[in-house]
Structures are given as structure tokens and as C-alpha cells.
Amino acid sequence: MRFKDQLHREIEVFQEPVRIVSLVPSQTELLVDLGLSNRIVGVTKFCVHPEGFKTTKTIVGGTKQVHFDTIKLLRPDLIICNKEENTKEMVVTLENIAPVWVSDIYTIEDTLKMIRQFGELFSVKEKAEELIRKIETELVNFQKYIHLRPIKKVAYVIWKNPYMVAGANTFIDHLLKLNNFENVFSKKPSRYPEVLEEDLKVADILLLATEPFPFKNKDVLELKNTLTKEVRLVDGEYFSWYGSRLVNALSYFKTLHYLLLLICIL
């Protein structure tokens, strides 16, 4: 069987994959939600959803560095990667072990295409289409909710020492736009530029993500006191994990806007 991944690379598998190694946390969660948990034999240490799932599988490393010998011993039929999460060099090496399917996600539309492709690749089309319908329904409801909300200038901060933010051409930036948030760093040439603390003053609201850097409430208070800006701790998984997490992410965004509105009123 021949399939194309999201980099338009042709992938050949000789049978329907029943032994999968997933090197992308959000895609591991998606595979489980498509009913494929029994087929997953290897995951990364960052595959934390569903809770406790990774303890039942072989940990093969992280997203940037993996133990190739461990993966080889698992005898996978297919290895799942992502262009941003995993390196090109890693993919090239993994192709000597098994076929490698690579996703490339920038938008919700890209996510829906991936879900549909997984439905075909793993013969779970019905479950894939059901999940797509759920996401599309939640998306329409959220768009109705958000369309009259005022646009706010935001900085989405992903790292500290140095500060790094999400820039343009990222899935995070796509979701910020969906939320009527204007990304003040979308004109930067880098997708994840380094910025100075002083640079953050241009935003109306600072969003500190809980991942990849684990920002805490103490960081919120610190920046509030230093910059006298509205600073909000946000769930980084809902802004950066694509796949089945989008169903709950859209509900989370409504809650976030409600809390921001309360702050304005108070």
C-alpha cells in the first residue's frame, strides 16, 4: 500500500500497520482516541496523554533525540513523526528501520487532513470522520462566539531566560488569530524569536504558556509587577497540540475569553 504524508513523501507499507512508534505527543493522543492504543508499541517520554498511557509502552527517548536501537527492537511497521517536533536527520535514520510518516501542521485544516489520512492509513475511517465532525462543530460554535469580540494585541511567551515567543507561520499563531488575538511578534523573521523583556511591553496581554517552559503563577506576578501589563497563564497544550485535543481546546478558549472579560470589568 502506498500513501503520501503531509510532506508529500510517498510512504509504502506492505500491510496495515499494527506496530506503531509515535514520536509526537499530540499524535500519540490522537492515535489513542482513534482506538489504536493496542497498536502503539513505542512513544516518547513527552507523550503524557492519555494520563498513564506511556507507562504501558516502551519509551524510546524524546522528540529530538531517540534511542534508535530500542526502536529497531520494537519492529515497527510504521513510525509517526512531525516536521517541527522531530529533526530531518532523525527521520532519515529512522527510515532505515521502518517507513516514516511525517505530519506538517500549521492550521486546523491541516489537522483535519491528518486525521482523515490516519483514518485511511489505519482503516478507522468512521472514527476519524466522527472526530472531524466534532471538531468542525466546535469550531463553528466558537467562531460564532468570538466574531464580535474586540481584537487584542498579545504576546504568546513559550520560554524564559531568554524570553522566546511564538511568531508567524506556526500552529500557535493560527490559533491566536482564531481567538481574535493579534500576535505582536508575527512580523519577526523567526518562527520562535528571542525577545527582551522590554519588547513585551508592546502587547496588551501577555500569555505565558505552561509548555514547553513550565511557566507558573509566580512568573505571572513577576511580569505583572515589572511591566504593569495584563498577564495570563494559559494551557500550552491547548494552543500547540493538534489532533483530538482541539475538541476541548475550543471550549477552553471560551473560558479564557470569559476570564479576560471579567478582568476588564473588574
pLDDT(104) > 50: yes
Question: Span 24-43, mean pLDDT?
Answer: 98
Give domain status of residue 197, yes or no: yes
For the chain, give the mean pLDDT: 95
Give domain status of residue 28, yes or no: yes
Domain boundary among 78, 104, 130: 104
Give domain status of residue 185, yes or no: yes
Cα within 13 Å of Cα(110), Cβ side: 20
Give domain status of residue 100, yes or no: yes
Using a pLDDT cut of 90, give the percent of the chain over it: 92
Q: Please write down the HEC assignment for all residues of the chain.
A: CEEECCCCCEEECCCCCCCEEECCHHHHHHHHHCCCHHHEEEECCCCCCCCCHHHHCEECECCCCECHHHHHHCCCCEEEEECCCCCHHHHHHHCCCCCEEEECCCCHHHHHHHHHHHHHHCCCHHHHHHHHHHHHHHHHHHHHHHCCCCCEEEEEEEECCCEEECCCCCHHHHHHHHCCEEECCCCCCCCCCEECHHHHHHCCEEEEECCCCCCCHHHHHHHHHHHCCEEEEECHHHHHCCCCCHHHHHHHHHHHHHHHHHHHHC
According to the model, what pLDDT value does residue 266 have?
A: 45
Distance of CA 220 to the CA centre of its chain: 23
- Is residue 12 within 8 Å of 78, Cβ to Cβ? no
Give domain status of residue 235, yes or no: yes
Residue type, 247: V
pLDDT(43) > 60: yes
- Residues 97, 148 within the same domain: no
- Residues 6, 94 within the same domain: yes
Kindly report, residue by residue over 136-145, the tens digit of the pLDDT: 999 999 999 9
Question: Span 187-209, mean pLDDT?
Answer: 96
133: which residues sit within 8 A by CB, 6+ positions away? none
- Residues 207, 97 within the same domain: no
250: which residues sit within 8 A by CB, 6+ positions away? 135, 138, 139, 141, 142
* Residue 152, Cβ density class (10 Å: 0-12 exposed, 13-18 middle, ≥19 buried): middle
Give domain status of residue 261, yes or no: yes
Can you tell me the distance from the alpha carbon of 48 to that of 29, in angstroms, rounded to the nearest whole number? 8
Give domain status of residue 218, yes or no: yes
Domain of 82 in residue numbering reads as 2-104
Residue type, 213: F
According to the model, what pLDDT value does residue 248 have?
A: 96
Q: Do you know the residue count of the chain?
A: 266
Kindly report, residue by residue over 55-102, the tens digit of the pLDDT: 999 999 999 999 999 999 999 999 999 999 999 999 999 999 999 999
Residue type, 98: A
Q: How many domains does the chain have?
A: 2
Angle (CA) 259 215 264, round 5°: 20
Nearest CA to 80 out of 124, 130, 118 is that of: 118
- Residues 24, 95 within the same domain: yes
According to the model, what pLDDT value does residue 17 have?
A: 96
pLDDT level of residue 148 (50, 70, 90 thresholds): confident
- Residues 213, 153 within the same domain: yes
**C-alpha cell belonging to residue 161:** 531566560
- Is residue 230 within 8 Å of 263, Cβ to Cβ? yes
Residue type, 82: N
According to DSSP, the β-strands at 40-43 and 20-22 are: parallel
- Residues 33, 83 within the same domain: yes
CATH label of the domain that carries residue 63 = 3.40.50.1980
Give domain status of residue 65, yes or no: yes
- Residues 254, 194 within the same domain: yes
